[in-house]
Structure 1
Amino acid sequence: MISPYGREYLEKLNRYLEKLPDDERMDAVMEIESHIAEGIASGVPEPVILSRLGDPRKLARAYRSERMNGLKGVRSFKDVLSLIGFYCTAGLLSVMVVPVLAVVAYGFGFCAILIVLAGILRTCGVTWINMSIGPGMEIATEYSMLYALVVGGIVGGIAFASWIGLKKYLAFVSERYRRVIPGKQTETTV
C-alpha cells in the first residue's frame, strides 16, 4: 500500500508531466506507481524506493526527454510538413500579425472611448472639440453625440474584431505548438 507521501510524489510527477498527452502521462505515472507497489511488496521500504527514483521533477524531465528522442527518428512526411507549417506561421508571420492586431485592438479601443467622450463633451458645450465629415462639413453640436456613437461604434467594432482575431491567432499557434511539438517544455516551467 502506497503511503500519502508516495501519493504526493506521484501527484508531483503527474504535474511535471502535464505537457505530455494525457494517455502517455497516465501511463508514466501508473508505471512509477506499479514500480513503487512492487518494491513495497518485495519488502523494500517506500522511502528507499522514492529516494532511488529521485526528484519527481528530474524523473519527469527524463520521461519527456526520452519521448522527444523517440520521436526524432520516427517523423513521417506529414509530420515534417506540419513542422514546416508551424514554424512558418509561428515565426515570420507572428512577427507581423501579433503586433499589428494588438496595436489595432488596443489603439482603436482607446480611440473609441475617446470619440464617445468627445461627443459627450461637445454636446455639453465644449467649443474646442471639432467634429466634421469632411472639409467644410462640420457636424452640428446637437448631433455630436449621435455622430460620436456611430463613429465610436465603428472604431470599437474594428478594435473588438482585432482583439478576437488576436485571441484566435494565439490559440491557433498554441494548438499547433502542442500538436507539432508534444511534450516540449522549457526548463523554467518544470
Structure 2
Amino acid sequence: MLLRYKKYAIFSLPTLVIVPTLFVFSTGLALCSAIAVIGGIIRTFNKDLVQMTIVPGVDIPSILSLPVSIVFAVILLLISFSSWKLLKRYIKFIR
C-alpha cells in the first residue's frame, strides 16, 4: 500500500508540468500550421498584407509563398504529431 502512494508522490509533480505543456505545445503547433497555410494563400494573392522573409531584408517571392508556407506547415504538423504521441506515451507510462 505504501509503495502505491510512493509512486503517486514521485509522478505527481512532473505530471503537473509535463502533461499541460505537451498538450498546449502540440495543439498550438497544429493551429500555427493552419495559420501558416492561410498566410501563404493570402501572401500569394495580396503581396502587401503579409510579409514573409528568410532573413531581414530578403523577402520570399510571392509566387513561392504558398509552397514555402506548406513546407513550414508540414514541419510544424510533424513536430505537433510527435509531441502528441509523446504525451500519449507518457500518460500510458504513468498508469
TM-score by length of structure 2 reads: 0.87
Q: Which residue of 2 is the match for residue 113 of structure 1? A: 34
Give the share of equivalent positions with the same residue, in percent.
Answer: 29
More strand by share: 2
| CA distance in 2 between partners of 1:156 and 1:147 (Å) | 14
Q: Would the aligned equivalents of 2:47 and 2:62 in 1 still touch at CA under 8 Å?
A: no
Q: Give the corresponding residue for 1:84.
A: 6
Cα drift, residue 125 of structure 1? 2.5
Q: What are the ranges of 5 or more consecutive residues in structure 2 without an aligned counterpart? A: none
The equivalences for 1:63-102 within 5 A come to: 72=1, 80=3, 84-89=6-11, 91-102=12-23
Q: Counterparts of 1:138 and 1:85 in 2: how far apart (Å)?
A: 54
Structure possessing the higher radius of gyration over alpha carbons: 1
What is the deviation of 1:124?
Answer: 2.1
Equivalent of 1:137, from 58, 63, 72? 58
CA distance in 2, matches of 1:113, 1:94: 29
CA apart distance, 1:134: 1.7
- Listed as ranges, the gaps of 5+ residues in structure 1 are 1-71, 175-190
Once superposed, what is the RMSD of the aligned Cα atoms? 1.8
Do structure 1's residue 158 and structure 2's residue 83 form an aligned pair? no
RCO higher in structure (CA 8 A, sep ≥6): 2
Q: How many residues align?
A: 95
